[in-house]
A and B are shown apart, each in its own frame.
Chain A
Amino acid sequence: MPDKPDLSRELSRMEAEPLLDIEKKLVAGSLILGVLLLVILGWLASWIGRGV
């Protein structure tokens, strides 16, 4: 297992990996689904009432 000084140096000198299409799809898909679900859940919460 690489020791921490090696990893620390690795962190400071890391070269960028280009974003793959699947990564972009994962991020975009998560955000879109997340916002949609929050809107739906927020609407449900106001429709059901806040239960006090």
Chain B
Amino acid sequence: MPAVEAPRSAPTSDAAGAARVAAPVPGMLASEDWWSVWLGLGVFLLSIGVLVGVDLLGWAAKSQVWLSPASSVIPVSPAYASVPSVVSILATYVFLLVATSIGAKFLGAAVARFAASFTVVYWVSYGCWVSGHFAYIAATPDKLGALGIGWSMNLTGEAGFVLALVAGLLVGNVFPRGAAWLAVAARPEWYIKTAIVIMGAALGVKAAEATGLAGAVVFRGLCAIVEAYLIYWALVYYIARRYFGFSREWAAPLAAGVSICGVSAAIAVGAAIRARPAVPIMVSSLVVIFAVVELLLLPFVAQTFLYREPMVAGAWMGLAVKTDGAAVASGAMVDALIRAKALAVQGVEYKEGWMLMAATTTKMFIDVFIGVWALVLAIVWCTRIDRRPGERIGFASVWDRFPKFVLGYVTTFVVLLAICVWRPDLRAAGGLASEEGTSFRVLLFAMTFFTIGLASNFKKLREEGIVRLAAVYVVSLFGFIIWIGLFISWIFFRGITPPIVGG
């Protein structure tokens, strides 16, 4: 191993977050990545109280399809059925406000300022989430009769995510001062990573029901690493260098942003090759914009053409959409849209969450290797392209870039999977625990959608020179990344369907 200095440490959270007030506390309390672990594990630990008969989170608000606003929200646990909905709604808000404010304090934000912005982000997101459950928007065909309505848009309650995204886009692009005021609480990467940690528990319960399919999903995730790093990155880097005339400093982070994982990868690779910090940040702003475009298009494309191949669709989202937030969000949308269409067209009711699992697992396997790839490029750059005497590369840089929220996800997934496999009598309680976590997870998802929209400033596309970056992005993403990802997802998942409800 050549003696080369460790690459400048790159944040694993989004660029905007990295530019905020410097965290006063070092180590495991100083990053959004770690705080997603603590918050997610906190919700998980409280939720699994039901396994020993102690229901600590049953008061959390759960949205359901509604015609009358009074019936839109109920407490998630039957044990708390007597709790008024408004109490449930307020308690859920206070819980998340306190939890995130504690994290924000350690992350260096002014707590009062954060709390004020978070309150707006929360209630706008929550309003969109509940609105998306309006019966004429969300109801699936099997529910129309019970609701007494003759039609609906059949979008399921996840339409609330799209509403939140549109709301964020409106605020971000039409009211920039409002967006700037909300910036301190606009932390889509933190929210989605916390949601993913919580989601691990729900996926663990599902995996216990179909361990073989879960194994296939994990295997597909491993293949995604090969695609993203060895094929996509190499192709995009070559295209950017050879045909668009980018320098190495621009081409490497751009290739990482387009092919691997958007913001985190662009910043990590930029640091590895010692690019100027502003270079990957400019790339990152483009990544977010294109992720929003993909989020608005691909789930509906998947619903139209892939409702007979649901697992292909789920894995495709994890490969094609290039930020954690948008990829997992796309997975959630695909899960809901395809389940609705399969029910309407084929009369088949798939169990919820499997397509989401495919998308999330695929994306997370890609995330895990960001640090490894950054180390590989650092070695290549420092030894063959940009040699500097006396520099040292250490494996500590790999750990530095490892996405810590994956640890939380694996923990919640494995713990609940193990409990449900070894104690089948606890599966029902495990299901309730995951439902209670899901009450918070969907709100974090809604806030992710809203804040992704806030951060997407389409005016950036008009900046001089950005068109050249965007051209590489369009050619690569829509020219081959999306289609290779679809093809390989097809090879691994064609003919595989999620378990069926009641099957």
A residues near B (Cβ < 8 Å) are 1-5, 7-17, 19-20, 22-23, 26-28, 30-31, 33-35, 37-38, 41-42, 44-45, 48, 50-52
B interface residues, how many (CB within 8 angstroms): 48
Q: At the interface with chain A, which of B31-39, B86-94, B238-246, B296-304? A: B238-246
How far does the alpha carbon of A48 sit from the alpha carbon of B223 in the complex, in Å?
A: 15
By a CB distance below 8 angstroms, the chain B residues around A52 are: 210, 212-213, 216, 496-497
Please state if B227 and A7 are interface contacts (CB–CB under 8 Å). no
By a CB distance below 8 angstroms, the chain B residues around A51 are: 212-213, 215-216, 219
Please state if A9 and B464 are interface contacts (CB–CB under 8 Å). yes
17 A-B pairs with C-beta separation under 8 A: A2-B276, A3-B278, A9-B464, A11-B464, A11-B468, A12-B468, A16-B245, A17-B248, A20-B384, A23-B385, A27-B235, A27-B237, A30-B231, A38-B227, A45-B219, A45-B492, A52-B213
Known: A14-B246, A33-B230. 18 other contacts (CB 8 A): A1-B277, A4-B282, A8-B282, A11-B465, A11-B468, A14-B250, A23-B248, A27-B237, A30-B233, A34-B230, A34-B234, A41-B219, A45-B216, A45-B220, A50-B492, A50-B496, A51-B212, A51-B213
Name the residue on A nearest B383 (C-beta).
A22
Closest beta carbon of chain A to B244's beta carbon, Å: 9
Closest beta carbon of chain B to A28's beta carbon, Å: 8
Please state if A17 and B496 are interface contacts (CB–CB under 8 Å). no
Please state if B495 and A50 are interface contacts (CB–CB under 8 Å). yes
The listed residue with most A CB atoms (<10 A of its CB), out of B223, B250, B465, is B465
Please state if A22 and B384 are interface contacts (CB–CB under 8 Å). yes
By a CB distance below 8 angstroms, the chain A residues around B250 are: 11, 14
How far does the alpha carbon of A9 sit from the alpha carbon of B49 in the complex, in Å?
A: 58
Please state if B278 and A41 are interface contacts (CB–CB under 8 Å). no
Closest beta carbon of chain B to A6's beta carbon, Å: 9
Name the residue on B nearest A20 (C-beta).
B385
Please state if B241 and A2 are interface contacts (CB–CB under 8 Å). no
B488 in the interface, Cβ–Cβ < 8 Å? yes
Closest beta carbon of chain A to B235's beta carbon, Å: 7
By a CB distance below 8 angstroms, the chain B residues around A27 are: 234-235, 237-238
Closest 9 CB pairs of A and B: A11-B465, A34-B230, A51-B212, A12-B465, A30-B234, A16-B245, A8-B465, A34-B231, A51-B216
By a CB distance below 8 angstroms, the chain B residues around A37 are: 226, 230
Please state if A41 and B215 are interface contacts (CB–CB under 8 Å). no
By a CB distance below 8 angstroms, the chain A residues around B222 are: 41
By a CB distance below 8 angstroms, the chain A residues around B234 are: 26-28, 30-31, 34
Name the residue on A nearest B467 (C-beta).
A12
How far does the alpha carbon of A13 sit from the alpha carbon of B467 in the complex, in Å?
A: 12
Closest beta carbon of chain B to A51's beta carbon, Å: 4
Chain A at the B interface: SS class = helix
B residues near A (Cβ < 8 Å) are 210, 212-213, 215-216, 219-220, 222-223, 226-227, 229-231, 233-235, 237-238, 241-242, 245-248, 250, 276-279, 282, 380, 384-385, 463-469, 488, 491-493, 495-497
How far does the alpha carbon of A17 sit from the alpha carbon of B215 in the complex, in Å?
A: 45
Name the residue on B nearest A1 (C-beta).
B278
By a CB distance below 8 angstroms, the chain A residues around B247 are: 14, 16-17
How far does the alpha carbon of A9 sit from the alpha carbon of B281 in the complex, in Å?
A: 16
Please state if A42 and B492 are interface contacts (CB–CB under 8 Å). yes
The listed residue with most B CB atoms (<10 A of its CB), out of A20, A31, A41, is A41
How far does the alpha carbon of A37 sit from the alpha carbon of B247 in the complex, in Å?
A: 29
Please state if B231 and A35 are interface contacts (CB–CB under 8 Å). yes
Closest beta carbon of chain B to A16's beta carbon, Å: 4
By a CB distance below 8 angstroms, the chain B residues around A16 are: 245, 247
By a CB distance below 8 angstroms, the chain B residues around A30 are: 229-231, 233-234
How far does the alpha carbon of A37 sit from the alpha carbon of B231 in the complex, in Å?
A: 11
By a CB distance below 8 angstroms, the chain A residues around B496 are: 50, 52
By a CB distance below 8 angstroms, the chain B residues around A17 are: 241, 247-248
How far does the alpha carbon of A27 sit from the alpha carbon of B241 in the complex, in Å?
A: 11
Name the residue on A nearest B247 (C-beta).
A17
Closest beta carbon of chain A to B214's beta carbon, Å: 8
How far does the alpha carbon of A42 sit from the alpha carbon of B238 in the complex, in Å?
A: 26
By a CB distance below 8 angstroms, the chain B residues around A26 are: 234, 237, 380
Please state if B223 and A7 are interface contacts (CB–CB under 8 Å). no
How far does the alpha carbon of A31 sit from the alpha carbon of B233 in the complex, in Å?
A: 9
By a CB distance below 8 angstroms, the chain B residues around A14 are: 245-247, 250, 468
Please state if A9 and B226 are interface contacts (CB–CB under 8 Å). no
Please state if A7 and B238 are interface contacts (CB–CB under 8 Å). no
How far does the alpha carbon of A35 sit from the alpha carbon of B493 in the complex, in Å?
A: 19
